[in-house]
Amino acid sequence: MMKMKMKLLLFLCGVLWVSADVLHEDLNILGCSDSDGEFMFTLDGEEVWYADFKKGKGVEPQPPFVVHISYPGAYEAALANLQVCRSNLKVCRSAMKDIPDENDAPSNLVIYPRDDVELGEKNILVCHVSGFYPAPVNVSWTRNGQKVTEGTSINVPFPSKDSTFTQISRLQFVPQLGDIYSCTVEHLALEEPQTRTWDVEMDNPQSGPGPAIFCGVGLTIGLLGVAVGTFFLIKGNECS
Ligand SMILES: *[C@@H]1O[C@H](CO)[C@@H](O)[C@H](O)[C@H]1NC(C)=O
């Protein structure tokens, strides 16, 4: 029963404009559940504008060096669209009540630091979750087993071409030797949460034995090739 109540139904309409001679893709995403909603404009796969319904305003997430496109009245339009979406959702629910919901658990979960790790230097840990349906996922973070909420953020669900979603959660952190971080993802299609861990270690073998071994093996194979080639070259000459 509890599960039914928590279930989020997301109704999604995407409108796609593709111009044939100039290859840009402008996507407008509208989605809703009873408690949640999404309205977003993207250009070539980048989030250009989205409505933050919790804060009651539009957000332009692009960095300052990008020319920002403004959408006057967009937040009001987003609110109106959310109402339309919810009433469509109601209709869809009753029309499709005998069809089981389709759920896809996240197919890919990766944790990595945004910048090269320098001890004591501010960095951002990224938890990249993709391949799930419906949206959203919950992402939680720990440092050395303790839950962390400060300095975390998550973007709005981003739809992929295969009609699954991607979400990226970020954690601001300062790498200290030996610290262990984890990100845990919850999704309604997952029976239990999935976790990835990442630890700060400085002795990662950037110039260690790894490349040297590959170089050695490569060189050996190369020399072997030369030897075999020479052998057949001589053999060939003997025959003629
Ligand atoms: C995400 O967290 C909220 C609040 O704790 C909870 O109500 C919801 O069921 C969670 N969603 C999933 C998919 O676990």
Model pLDDT for residues 182-211, shown as the tens digit of each residue: 999 999 999 999 999 999 987 554 444 555
Taking the centre of ligand 1 as the mean of its atom positions, its distance from the CA of residue 139, in whole angstroms, is 10
Q: Are residues 133 and 180 both part of a single domain?
A: yes
Q: Are residues 35 and 122 both part of a single domain?
A: no
Does the global pTM surpass 0.85?
Answer: no
Instruction: Report the domain count for the chain.
Output: 2
What integer is the mean pLDDT of 43-65? 89
| pLDDT over 70 at 125, yes or no | yes
Taking the centre of ligand 1 as the mean of its atom positions, its distance from the CA of residue 138, in whole angstroms, is 6
Q: pLDDT for 127-158, tens place per residue?
A: 999 999 999 999 999 999 999 999 999 998 99
Q: Which two tokens stand for residue 180?
A: 């262990």
The minimum-distance atom of ligand 1 relative to the CA of 137 is 13
Structure confidence at residue 90 as a pLDDT band (50, 70, 90): very high
Question: CA torsion sign, 63 to 143 to 54 to 90?
Answer: positive
Amino acid identity, position 189: A
The minimum-distance atom of ligand 1 relative to the CA of 186 is 14
State residue 2's pLDDT score: 35
Please report whether residue 30 resides in a domain: yes
User: Using a 6 Å CB cutoff, which residues line ligand 1?
Assistant: 6, 138, 186-188
State residue 96's pLDDT score: 85
Q: Are residues 58 and 123 both part of a single domain?
A: no
Determine which residue's CA is closest to atom 8 belonging to ligand 1. 6
Q: Compute how many other C-beta atoms are within 10 angstroms of the C-beta atom of residue 60.
A: 16
Structure confidence at residue 21 as a pLDDT band (50, 70, 90): low
The total number of residues shown for the chain amounts to 240
Average pLDDT of the residues of the chain: 83
State residue 13's pLDDT score: 43
Taking the centre of ligand 1 as the mean of its atom positions, its distance from the CA of residue 149, in whole angstroms, is 15
Q: Which domain holds residue 39?
A: 9-95
CATH number for the domain spanning 52: value is 3.10.320.10
Q: Are residues 113 and 175 both part of a single domain?
A: yes
Q: Are residues 128 and 187 both part of a single domain?
A: yes
Q: What percent of the chain has pLDDT over 90?
A: 51
Task: Map tokens 């029963």 to a residue.
Answer: 1
| pLDDT over 60 at 20, yes or no | no
Q: Are residues 112 and 203 both part of a single domain?
A: yes
Please report whether residue 102 resides in a domain: no
**CB 152 within 8 Å of CB 143:** no
Q: Are residues 68 and 123 both part of a single domain?
A: no
Determine which residue's CA is closest to atom 7 belonging to ligand 1. 6
Taking the centre of ligand 1 as the mean of its atom positions, its distance from the CA of residue 36, in whole angstroms, is 12
